[in-house]
Amino acid sequence: MAKLESLGIKRIEGIHYYVHDLERSRRFYCGMMDFAETWRSSPELEARGRQQSAVFEAGDVRVVCSSPRGEGGRAARFLGKHPDGVGTLIFEVEDAARTFALLEARGGTPIADIETFQDDGGTLRQFSITTPFGDCTFRFRERRGFTGFFPGAVKLDAPVGGSNAFGFEQIDHVTSNFQTMKPMLLWLEHVMGFEQMWEVAFHTSDVDPDRKTGSGLKSIVMWEPTSGVKFANNEPARPFFRSSQINIFNEELRGDGVQHVAMTVGDIIGAVKGLRARQVNFMPTPTSYYEMLPERIAKTGIDAIDEDLKVLEDLQILVDGDHHHAYMLQIFLKEAAGLYNDPSAGPFFYEIIQRKGDRGFGAGNFRALFESIEREQQKQGAT
């Protein structure tokens, strides 16, 4: 297939997360993650959209959380079918009209025509389209001096909450789970114009064929080279398809959807120390992972890393890479349901990542992550 013309995506501007309890989200983002609450929905917007929203920011990471106010709004419709989850991904684009025309010509499905809004700073043009994964839509925004975060948002006189003490920078990638991912891959390629960047297949039974249960996946990363926007896409793998943690995620979310969002930091050790001090819980890593880490580092060709392995083990930070002194450090928060001890909070979680020259996605860490998620699911009674 010939390379398609770029849609003019500049970045992922933010995610729109539908939640049952907005106050709980406020405590999490402001009190634990040190995000700042910067915007809230106006009373007029809340009455019209039948939902209440707040915007949380740290670096270039923006999360809009909305909870229902009565029936009939988008938040109520989403949460009527799913637990808490990501319902919209928001992209900033260079030219909304051009993006709209390209998407429609390639078979994209706009939800409505382009809308135009004005404020004292300038113009915002936006539109949304449906996608092949679950009830998550894509929204595209062109900003021409528009100062509001979204139409109907009211800026707080002073940000409430944190000051980004942990140094969150930007969204590195978005990972989604599917029971079959081929429709999404084709849609990303033929409609969005993305290209394949990376892939891996993994199963916990690879090293123990006698296992009676296990978890596996196929993962393919698609990206848009101009903007660097990346989507990792997972599907379950046999054997034990039904007990795969990818399949269990889909059952818990009640459909395909966004599994996690990765956020970059400049100093993951300092960030994790600070977050742990604020009682943020992370996915546990098996001790065996660190026992095998020096040998695995040597085999990958990384040669050496700057960090003390004992410090990484104490903080349970994962390491991966594939060539001379280029590697990445990553860690995963517990899924929201585990963080809040509430199934209605859903299976979404965050990844924190520090890239030190490596562009990969931690193929060598998949086993550790999968084993960790399996143990968490077993604790919660998932089968």
The residue among 154, 172, 327, 379 whose CA lies nearest residue 264 is 172
Side chain identity, residue 189: E
Query: Residue 198: what pLDDT?
Result: 83
Query: Residue 300: what pLDDT?
Result: 75
**CB contact at 8 A, 269 and 261:** no
Flag residues of the chain having pLDDT under 70: 1, 203-215, 322-324, 362-364, 366-383
Q: What is the C-alpha to C-alpha distance for residues 275 and 268, in angstroms, rounded to an integer?
A: 10
| Token duo for residue 359 | 């562009």
Q: Cα angle vertex 259, ends 257, 261, to 5°? A: 115
Query: Residue 57: what pLDDT?
Result: 98
Give the mean pLDDT of the chain: 91
Query: Residue 374: what pLDDT?
Result: 62
Q: What is the C-alpha to C-alpha distance for residues 93 and 110, in angstroms, rounded to an integer?
A: 16
> What pTM was computed for the model?
0.92
